């Protein structure tokens, strides 16, 4: 197993023995995706689990020509874990929103690790549960809040979870942002402009700077 792989997986695989590490090395492929390229398609075979090491990926559901972005995946996270032990079909699509590097691991390999290494299994469960908690928050945001609250949630998430900075290039198009917030592109644009005019954030193209976290949080709360 080469050092890159070892480094990337470190937090996940530091309890594996040599036999297990060797087995991974044999069942893993490293891939690059350009911005805009599709990693996996809703309905396709989920024969592999993807581990993101660089870049940014959106996971989205396609429904009647409209997409909803379920999650934005950053390096260090898996894509397709939720298809493990299921019917083996992806129930969402994944596309790169920045040049990305991934390791693609055989699904059976993951199952092998889970059944042979209980530490690993526990980490996977913890990871799945953290995801679920995140999805619950998103369900609330998307169903109980109005446009302003949803955009505020999205900006807070991008700033705190994804880019970890108050100033960032969000990479997402307005349409992506709209699909992340479950609204029309036009609405997303309008709210973004309002936030800019009200000096809650500073926006220039895709560059975004948060001016007042306090106001964003307030908007997030009142819905």
At 58, which helix (H) or strand (E)? strand 48-63
For the segment 132-161, give every residue that binds DNA (CB under 7 A). Answer: 146-148
For the segment 101-120, give every residue that binds its own copies (CB under 8 A). Answer: 111, 114-116, 118-119
Residue 146: contacted member of its own copies, DNA, none (CB under 5 to 8 Å, by partner type): DNA
Among 25-33, 49-57, 132-140, 174-182, the segment contacting DNA (CB under 7 A): 174-182
Beta-bridge partners for 215:
none
- Considering the complex, what minimum distance in angstroms separates the CB of residue 173 from DNA? 3
Considering the complex, state which of residue 133 and residue 173 has its C-beta at the smaller distance from DNA. 173
With beta carbons less than 8 A apart as the criterion, state whether 68 and 107 touch. Answer: no
- Considering the complex, what minimum distance in angstroms separates the CB of residue 160 from DNA? 22
Considering the complex, state which of residue 74 and residue 196 has its C-beta at the smaller distance from DNA. 196
User: Which of 74, 101, 123, 174 lies at the binding interface for DNA (CB under 7 A)?
Assistant: 174
List, in order, residues 6 or more apart from 151 with CB less than 8 Å away.
177, 181, 188, 191, 192, 195, 219
Which of 25, 31, 35, 91 minimizes the C-alpha distance to 60?
A: 91
Considering the complex, state which of residue 36 and residue 135 has its C-beta at the smaller distance from its own copies. 135
At 175, which helix (H) or strand (E)? helix 174-181
């Amino acid at each position: 197993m080469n050092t890159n792989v070892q480094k990337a997986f470190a937090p996940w695989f530091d309890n594996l023995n040599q036999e297990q590490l060797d087995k991974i090395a044999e069942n893993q492929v490293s891939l690059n995706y350009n911005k805009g390229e599709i990693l996996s398609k809703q309905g396709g075979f989920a024969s592999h689990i993807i581990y993101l090491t660089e870049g940014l990926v959106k996971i989205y559901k396609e429904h009647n020509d409209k997409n909803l972005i379920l999650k934005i995946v950053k390096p260090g996270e898996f894509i397709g874990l939720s298809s493990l032990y299921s019917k083996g079909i992806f129930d969402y699509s994944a596309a790169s929103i920045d040049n990305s590097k991934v390791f693609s691991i055989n699904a059976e390999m993951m199952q092998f690790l889970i059944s042979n290494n209980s530490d690993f299994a526990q980490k996977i469960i913890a990871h799945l549960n953290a995801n679920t908690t995140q999805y619950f928050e998103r369900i609330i945001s998307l169903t109980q809040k109005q446009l302003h609250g949803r955009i505020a949630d999205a900006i807070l998430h991008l700033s705190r979870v994804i880019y970890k900075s108050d100033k960032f290039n969000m990479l997402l198009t307005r349409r992506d942002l709209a699909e992340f917030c479950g609204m029309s592109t036009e609405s997303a644009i309008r709210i973004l402009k309002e936030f800019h005019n009200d000096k809650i954030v500073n926006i220039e193209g895709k560059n975004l700077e948060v001016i007042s976290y306090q106001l964003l949080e307030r908007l997030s709360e009142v819905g």
